[in-house]
């Protein structure tokens, strides 16, 4: 029936209600998201400092942006973090979901335990893991006092591995949700599939990999959207855990944007950086979002 409404162009007055009901959405989409974005892009070509003002300086802000080592480092960090975060949260989330789907006892207990960190904010997550990874109090101290004197695990003060320290905290917070989504997907698979696979003697891992996962495409898509939007926006966690350090080893683009807009009082530079973020997101998301939601013939 989803096709009925658009299929009948004359049902104008009935759709009027839907349009009225959608006013908040239209307002948000057009005024806030599109309007805000256009506004940001326009002002990225100005030399606005503390307050936005329309004095255009061409591409100056972008030239400066791309010659700033901190921005380049931020991009690199985000790429590493993003790729690892995607791989690990999908893999761990799926494996945990598969384990929980084995008709086990205490399923709800395990599920709740794995999911609860999601209820905590990134600020809290960052603080706790900063505490746990502190070399003088946390994991390193524990292992050393257990007798392994030379044990070194100090990710928050080591430039080369600090991003993994953040990854550990992010995965702790976020895999629960991924696991839930995957579990929901697995529960949606018809039992006949399993029966058929068993009859054909296909090993379980093969069934998962070649039959079940392809069938779960919609779940993977939703999950991907949720994880990816979280990756692009990562900010609070970094601020709470490392403040971007040591050096620039855990800087991320969202932090660059915020720092330049507000603490450096250089709105133009912040807007240029956010425009670059937006452009990247658009390139990846818009084609997909259009295919997924925008096609006229597609059903929900």
Partner 1 sequence: MNSFKALIAASTMLCTVGLAQATDLEVTHWWTSGGEAAAVAEFAKAFDATGNKWIDGAIAGGGNTARPVFISRITGGDPMAATQFNHGRQAEELVQAGLMRDFTELAEKEGWKNFVRPASLLEGCTVDGKVYCVPINIHSWQWLWLSHKAFEDAGVPVPKTWDEFVAAAPALEKAGKVPLAMGGQAWQRTGAFNVLIPAIAGKETYLKVYQDKDEAAAAGPEIAKVFKAADDARRMAAKSNVQDWNQATNLVITGQAGGQIMGDWAQGEFQVAGQVAGKDYSCLPGLGVNELISVGGDAFYFPKLKDADKTAAQEVLASVMLSPETQVAFNLKKGSVPVRGDVDLNAANDCMKKGLDILAKGNTMPDPPRLNTEDTNNQLNDLFVEFFATPSMTPEEAQKRYAEIIAAAD
Partner 2 sequence: MADVRTAVAGQADPVVVGAREPYGPRPRPVLSRRNIIVYGTLTIVALYYLMPLYVMIVTSLKGMPEIRFGNVFAPPVEITFEPWVKAWATACTGLNCDGLSRGFWNSVRITIPSVIISILIASVNGYALANWRFKGANIFFTILIVGAFIPYQVMIYPIVIILREMGVYGTLTGLVIVHTIFGMPINTLLFRNYFASVPEELFKAARVDGAGFWAIYFRIMLPMSLPIFVVSMIIQVTGIWNDFLFGVVYTRPETYPMTVQLNNIVNSVQGVKEYNVNMAATLLTGLVPLVIYFISGKLFVRGIAAGAVKG
Instruction: Give residues 238-267 in contact with partner 2 (rule: CB under 8 A).
Output: 253-254, 257-258, 261, 267
DSSP 190: -
Among 11, 17, 24, CA closest to 3: 11
**By CB under 8 A, is residue 41 in contact with partner 1?**
no
What mask of x and - would describe binding to partner 1 in positions 108 to 127, judged by CB under 8 A? --------------------
Q: How far is the CB of 95 from partner 2 (least distance, A)?
A: 8
Of 121, 159, 243, 265, which one interacts with partner 2 (CB under 8 A)?
Answer: 121
Among 126, 211, 241, 239, CA closest to 174: 126
Q: Which of residues 219-278 bind partner 1 (CB under 8 A)?
A: 243-249, 259-266, 269
* Per-residue burial over 97-132, b = 16 or more CB atoms within 10 Å of its CB, e = otherwise: bbebbeeeeeeeeebeebbebbeeebeebbbbbbeb
Q: Which of residues 200-229 bind partner 2 (CB under 8 A)?
A: 204, 217-219, 221-223, 225-226, 228-229
Q: Which of residues 38-77 bind partner 2 (CB under 8 A)?
A: 39-40, 52
Q: How far is the CB of 220 from partner 2 (least distance, A)?
A: 9
List for the chain the helix, strand, coil content (%; round to 5): 75, 0, 25
CA atoms of 286 and 278, how far apart (whole Å): 11
CA atoms of 215 and 80, how far apart (whole Å): 29
| Peptide bond before residue 183 is cis, with ω within 30 degrees of 0 | no
Q: Closer to partner 2 at the Cβ: 214 or 295?
A: 295
Q: Which does 249 bind (CB under 5 to 8 A by kind): partner 2, partner 1, none?
A: partner 1
Residues whose CB falls within 8 Å of the CB of residue 93, separated by 6 or more in sequence, listed in order: 175, 177, 178, 179, 181, 182, 223
Of 50, 57, 80, 99, which one interacts with partner 2 (CB under 8 A)?
Answer: 99
Q: Which two tokens stand for residue 248?
A: 């620039």
Q: Which does 64 bind (CB under 5 to 8 A by kind): partner 1, partner 2, none?
A: partner 1
Task: Using CB under 8 A, list all residues that contact partner 1.
Answer: 49-51, 64, 68-70, 135-136, 157, 159, 243-249, 259-266, 269
């Amino acid at each position: 029936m989803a096709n009925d409404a658009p299929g009948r162009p004359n049902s104008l007055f009935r759709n009027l209600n839907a349009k009225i009901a959608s006013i908040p959405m239209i307002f948000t989409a057009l005024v806030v998201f599109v309007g805000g974005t256009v506004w940001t892009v326009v002002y990225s070509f100005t030399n606005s400092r503390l307050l936005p003002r329309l004095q255009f300086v061409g591409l100056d802000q972008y030239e400066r942006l791309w010659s700033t080592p901190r921005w380049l480092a931020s991009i690199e960090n985000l790429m590493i973090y993003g790729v690892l975060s995607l791989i690990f949260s999908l893999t761990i989330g799926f494996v945990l979901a598969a384990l929980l789907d084995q008709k086990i006892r205490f399923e709800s207990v395990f599920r709740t335990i794995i999911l609860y960190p999601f209820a905590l904010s990134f600020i809290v997550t960052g603080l706790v893991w900063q505490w746990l990874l502190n070399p003088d109090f946390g994991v390193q101290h524990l292992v050393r006092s257990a007798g392994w004197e030379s044990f070194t695990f100090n990710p928050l003060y080591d430039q080369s591995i600090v991003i993994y320290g953040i990854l550990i905290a992010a995965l702790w917070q976020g895999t629960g949700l991924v696991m839930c989504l995957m579990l929901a997907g697995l529960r949606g698979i018809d039992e006949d599939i399993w029966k058929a696979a068993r009859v054909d003697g296909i090993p379980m891992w093969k069934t998962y990999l070649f039959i079940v996962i392809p069938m779960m495409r919609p779940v993977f898509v939703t999950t991907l959207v949720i994880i990816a939007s979280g990756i692009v926006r990562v900010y609070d966690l970094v601020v709470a855990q490392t403040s971007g350090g040591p050096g620039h080893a855990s800087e991320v683009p969202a932090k660059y944007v915020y720092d330049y807009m507000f603490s450096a009082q250089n709105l133009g530079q912040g807007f240029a950086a956010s425009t670059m973020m937006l452009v990247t997101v658009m390139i990846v998301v818009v084609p997909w979002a259009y295919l997924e939601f925008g096609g006229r013939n597609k059903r929900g």
